[in-house]
Amino acid sequence: MGRRADSSRAATPALLRERVLVIACGALANEILAITRADGLSHVDLQCLPAQLHNRPEKIPEAVRRAIHTARHSYRYILVGYGDCGTGGLLDKVLAEEAVERIEGAHCYAFFAGLDVFATEADAEPGTFYLTDFLARHFESLVIRPLGLDTHPELRDAYFGNYTRLLYLEQVADAELLERARRAAERIGLAFAHRPTGYGMLATTISRFAS
């Protein structure tokens, strides 16, 4: 499935390549921009949808469809920077209808860690709460406040009583973010674990698609 870049374009100078659009979750903006800069993919554009859509995953498929329809007149090649992200297969149904590819995996945790590594971690400790760089940076505004834990800490067990650890999947080594992730684990009373992942399949998929 998908609108893949032709292999014949691989040797074409970036300035002469057809432009590629990545329609992605806003939680991946920094990572995608870093990947395109590092790989010299100046012909790749990024359009982000609000990260808050993850609070209403049923809205993701049609939001992505609208973005695809809007972009079609300007881009021949479109890649969607989402996993399934809790849509229960509905996003894949939309992408099949639109003939557009997405990054493989159920969510960003899987494609950052790699599908096999994530499956191993999840099997080893099912009660894991995951953080990425984005979530470590915005833990208060995306987790604590929406759940009401800032004003009602007694709700901690209702939300996290079945979790045993917080696993920080680190995209970029950053001492401040690492400390934020540790504090996040303490805040919700979970053991802390840390696995550097880099950009994982996000980087390899974008580079393959846009080369």
CATH of the domain at 89: 3.40.50
* Domain assignment present for 16: yes
For residues 61 and 162, state if they share a domain. Answer: no
Q: Is the pLDDT of residue 6 over 60?
A: no
For residues 25 and 78, state if they share a domain. Answer: yes
The residue segments making up the domain with residue 85 are 7-108+199-210
What is the total residue count of the chain? 211
* Domain assignment present for 26: yes
Residue 133 burial (CB < 10 Å; 0-12/13-18/19+)?
buried
Average model confidence (pLDDT) across the chain = 92
- Residue 92 sits at φ, ψ, to 5 deg, of -65, -35
pLDDT band at 8 (very low <50, low <70, confident <90, very high): very low
Q: Convert the pLDDT of each residue in 63-84 to its tens digit.
A: 999 999 999 999 989 999 999 9
Q: Token pair of 151, please?
A: 């004003």
Q: Convert the pLDDT of each residue in 47-67 to its tens digit.
A: 999 998 988 999 999 999 999
For residues 14 and 100, state if they share a domain. Answer: yes
* Domain assignment present for 50: yes
pLDDT of residue 211: 84
For residues 90 and 118, state if they share a domain. Answer: no
Q: How many structural domains does the chain have?
A: 2
For residues 12 and 78, state if they share a domain. Answer: yes
Q: Token pair of 29, please?
A: 């903006």
For residues 73 and 137, state if they share a domain. Answer: no
* Domain assignment present for 1: no
For residues 145 and 163, state if they share a domain. Answer: yes
Q: Is the pLDDT of residue 27 over 50?
A: yes
Cα 159 from Cα 154, distance rounded (Å):
10
Q: Is the pLDDT of residue 145 over 70?
A: yes
* Domain assignment present for 84: yes
Side-chain-side CA neighbours of 74 within 13 Å: the count stands at 14
* Domain assignment present for 2: no
For residues 30 and 13, state if they share a domain. Answer: yes
pLDDT of residue 55: 85
